[in-house]
Amino acid sequence: MNKQCLLCNNSILNSISLEFILSLKKQQVDYICKQCQRRFILIKHDDFCNYCGRLGKFKLNTCGDCNQWNQKGWSWFTCRSIYSYNDFMSTYMKKYKFNGDYYLRKVFSKQFFDKLNQKECLVPIPISKTTMHKRRFNQVHGLMENLKFQDVLLVDKQKNTQSHHNKKQRMAMQQIFSIDDRYMHLIVGKNVTIVDDVYTTGTTIRLAAAILKENGAKSVSGFTLAR
């Protein structure tokens, strides 16, 4: 069976063994070739920040970013990512998001299905109305295509730019998310996992976590494709 790699267009050769045919297992579909697969760097569970999940060796397994967040008054936040963000991932993201190639969700949606705990309430990061208008899809929804998720979060809240005196007020004013009242019951007392494509500065996911916590979620953690 010959197929083309969605990323480099080289053909993917799938050799099926007799043993496999006899096992009656459904063949796993590959969307990208082995060479492209190797260019994505998996975060293996040995050297990484215990909080944000970033790949590397850190003192007390806590990276500088996470220490800084804590010093700024934010509570510790745990997030896990499948891959380390590199140039190849950045190219993938450009093709998927900015060129709007929705089919590219297939490259990772199986891994999302395998790795996310479906007993938890899975909440994708929403995109703004402007982005939706341009892109026509939420890239996180695409990656979660095989999962049941809840669109609890709303974005587009007007940012208040006035200066505020104390830390708590400033944090509240940065908030860009709100909760869709219709789905409030889905998060109260529940373990929630926020799902995003890339963990960049960590601001977005922390703001989302803060509002979910304030509205009664029992625990909130994060999951992203890349960090």
Q: With binding defined as CB under 5 A, does residue 79 bind Zn ion? A: no
Q: With binding defined as CB under 5 A, does residue 36 bind Zn ion? A: yes
Q: With binding defined as CB under 5 A, does residue 6 bind Zn ion? A: no
**Which residues touch 50 (CB under 8 Å, ≥6 apart)?**
61, 62, 78
Nearer to Zn ion, 15 or 161 (CB): 15
| Triad 7, 12, 16: Cα angle to 5° | 145
Nearer to Zn ion, 59 or 165 (CB): 59
Stretch that binds Zn ion, among 39-47, 58-66, 144-152, 163-171 (CB under 5 A): 58-66
Of 202, 151, 203, 196, nearest in space to 176 by CA:
203
Q: With binding defined as CB under 5 A, does residue 12 bind Zn ion? A: no
How many chain residues interact with Zn ion (CB under 5 A)?
Answer: 10
Let me know: does 65 contact 52? Beta carbons within 8 Å. Answer: yes
Report the residue from 43, 66, 144, 220 that binds Zn ion according to the rule CB under 5 A: 66
Q: With binding defined as CB under 5 A, does residue 226 bind Zn ion? A: no
Report the residue from 1, 4, 8, 118 that binds Zn ion according to the rule CB under 5 A: 8
- Tell the burial category of 65 from Cβ atoms under 10 Å away from its Cβ (0-12, 13-18, 19+): middle
Q: With binding defined as CB under 5 A, does residue 63 bind Zn ion? A: yes
The tokens describing 173, both together, are 């004013």
Nearer to Zn ion, 97 or 227 (CB): 227
Task: Encode burial over 111-148: b for 16+ CB neighbours within 10 A, e otherwise.
Answer: ebeeebeeeebbbbbbbeeebeeebeebbbbbbbeeee
CA separation for the pair 216, 222 (Å, rounded): 17
Q: With binding defined as CB under 5 A, does residue 49 bind Zn ion? A: yes
Nearer to Zn ion, 51 or 74 (CB): 51
Minimal distance, residue 153 CB to Zn ion, in Å: 23
Stretch that binds Zn ion, among 36-44, 109-117, 128-136, 154-162 (CB under 5 A): 36-44
Binding site residues, Zn ion, CB under 5 A: 5, 7-8, 33, 36, 49, 51-52, 63, 66
